[in-house]
Amino acid sequence: MSVKFIKTILNPKEIPIKKPDNEYPKCEDFFKLPVMFYHTIGLDPYDSSRPEDKPGIMFHIYFLCHMINMLMVVFVIISFRNKENFLVCCIQMGCIGFICAAVGKVVSVISQKRKMTNLVKELESIFPRPMEKEHEEYDVKKYLKISNLYGKSFGSVYTILVVINSMFALIEYIILWLMHSPNAEQSMPYVEFAPWDYHDGWCFFLTYMSQAIAGYTATCGHISADLMIFAVTMQAIMHFDRLSRALTEFQFRSGDVGGADEDLRRLQTLIAYHNRILG
């Protein structure tokens, strides 16, 4: 589905299946990017209909480790908060707020997983069949291209920002250390506190990477939910545009024998289709 290397490592029995080059786009293609980000932190946003995509126990443990590591940062901030420096307090509160918002989005995905699964199944049921005519009528490739363009742009910017914020202090320290500068000081990317002394040996790098991973986990919690909403919205727009074209191009046959009944039947079909999209 996405991030196959992570799911393959955590579920050795899974064998990736190569998709044919001429295969028509599917409903799940719209969700590839948000699902990819979710999988990098060990979370499945909805249940897949394919047995081979079911996550194993190691995948859930992987997610639990991410959550514990991220919440550890909040615990450290609360335990070692600096009450004397107002600027430091503001930075710490911003960090706590960002992580708490990410936790809230992750918890909402877990608690609403059944509804999300039903939503994806409903979208799959009304998605155009793998036929050239239907895909041209819905212009699936156009909407998938737009979805990927905006989704990748949004995800890339967010990812670049978290990488810069996470790695800047480490790169600065390494450069100054190689230059034998007296200003080379070990510092953390987000929180300068830790329950242990991280200034000796590999403890610094392990503590640093722990905070950097926590920052990435929180970021994924934010962007994955936003990208999932965008993917659903883009499909809804695709269906509404198809419906509007169908109504615009509707040809009445009331002059023919039984034409009125045929017109009513086709209108009822479009109304039912409209109600499914709203649902």
Domain boundaries, the chain: 4-248, 250-279
151-156 long-range contacts, CB within 8 A, separation 24+: 151/33, 151/34, 151/227, 151/230, 151/231, 152/33, 154/223, 154/226, 154/227, 154/230, 155/33, 155/37, 155/223, 155/227
Question: What is the reported pLDDT for 189?
Answer: 84
Question: What is the reported pLDDT for 79?
Answer: 64
CB contact at 8 A, 189 and 169: yes
CB contact at 8 A, 127 and 137: no
Question: What is the reported pLDDT for 16?
Answer: 47
Question: Whole-angstrom Cα distance, residue 38 to residue 43?
Answer: 5
CB contact at 8 A, 63 and 43: yes
Write the CA distances from 44 to 62, 131, 230, integer angstroms. Answer: 12, 29, 17
Exposure string (b/e) for 196-228, b if CB count within 10 Å is 16 or more?
Answer: eebeeeeebeebbebbbbbbbbbbbbbbbbbbb
Choose among 49, 29, 35: nearest CA to 6. Answer: 35
Question: Whole-angstrom Cα distance, residue 64 to residue 260?
Answer: 61
Task: Divide the 279 residues of the chain into consecutive groups of 10 and give the mean pLDDT of each group.
Answer: 52 49 80 93 85 79 91 74 66 81 91 92 90 88 93 91 89 87 82 76 85 91 92 92 83 66 78 82
Number of H helices, E strands in the chain: 9, 0
Choose among 4, 77, 34: nearest CA to 233. Answer: 34
Question: What is the reported pLDDT for 105?
Answer: 92
Question: What is the reported pLDDT for 65?
Answer: 93
User: Phi, psi at residue 81, to the nearest 5°?
Assistant: -65, 145
CB contact at 8 A, 170 and 208: yes
Q: How many CB atoms lie within 10 A of CB 6?
A: 16
What the block records as the tokens of 143 is 């909407």
Question: Whole-angstrom Cα distance, residue 48 to residue 121?
Answer: 9
CB contact at 8 A, 112 and 47: no
3-state secondary structure at position 130? coil
CB contact at 8 A, 102 and 221: yes
Tokens 């819905």 belong to 138
Q: Which residues fall within 8 angstroms of residue 80, CB to CB, at 6 or more apart?
A: 191, 193
Choose among 107, 116, 35, 109: nearest CA to 70. Answer: 107
CB contact at 8 A, 208 and 165: no
